[in-house]
Amino acid sequence: MKFELTKEEKKAFNKFKKDFYFWQDKLQLGHYDVTIKIKNAKGVWAQISIDEENKVASVFVSKGDLLKMPKHVAKHECCHLFLNHLVVLANTRFTDGSRIWEEWEKLTMVLEKVL
């Protein structure tokens, strides 16, 4: 669905995208194909849907909250993407503990560079 945005909403949406892609790069998540879209949603500023196997993610930003969205929301959604593989491993029935440890170590090394 296509939404008509005011000038201020367009500016806020473009800022969200810029911030998300900044953190995607900073957290070394360039191997994910990310699409950011606007939708009508109540009760959330933004939401991410991730297909870990195909490395595809869709971020949905709530049109109604574009102008009052806190600055950290793009980073928050990108953190979900950052941690997703670890969550998938932890929820896989027959995951070898060493795979979880390896992912944990990988995430820690990225955070060492960012923090």
In the chain, the domains with their CATH numbers are 7-114 (3.30.2010)
Q: Is the pLDDT of residue 24 over 70?
A: yes
Token pair listed for 93:
């029935």
Kindly report, residue by residue over 68-111, the tens digit of the pLDDT.
888 899 999 999 999 999 999 999 988 888 999 999 999 999 99
Residue carrying structure tokens 């800022």: 15
pLDDT number for residue 51: 98
More confident residue, 16 or 43: 16
- The pLDDT of 59-75, averaged and rounded, is 91
- The pLDDT of 5-25, averaged and rounded, is 95
Whether the CB-CB separation of 48 and 57 falls below 8 Å is answered with yes
Whether the CB-CB separation of 64 and 43 falls below 8 Å is answered with no
Kindly report, residue by residue over 26-53, the tens digit of the pLDDT.
999 999 999 999 998 888 999 999 999 9
Q: Is the pLDDT of residue 3 over 80?
A: no
pLDDT number for residue 110: 96
Token pair listed for 39:
């939708």
Buried b (16+ CB within 10 A) or exposed e, 45-62: bbebebeeeeeebebbbb
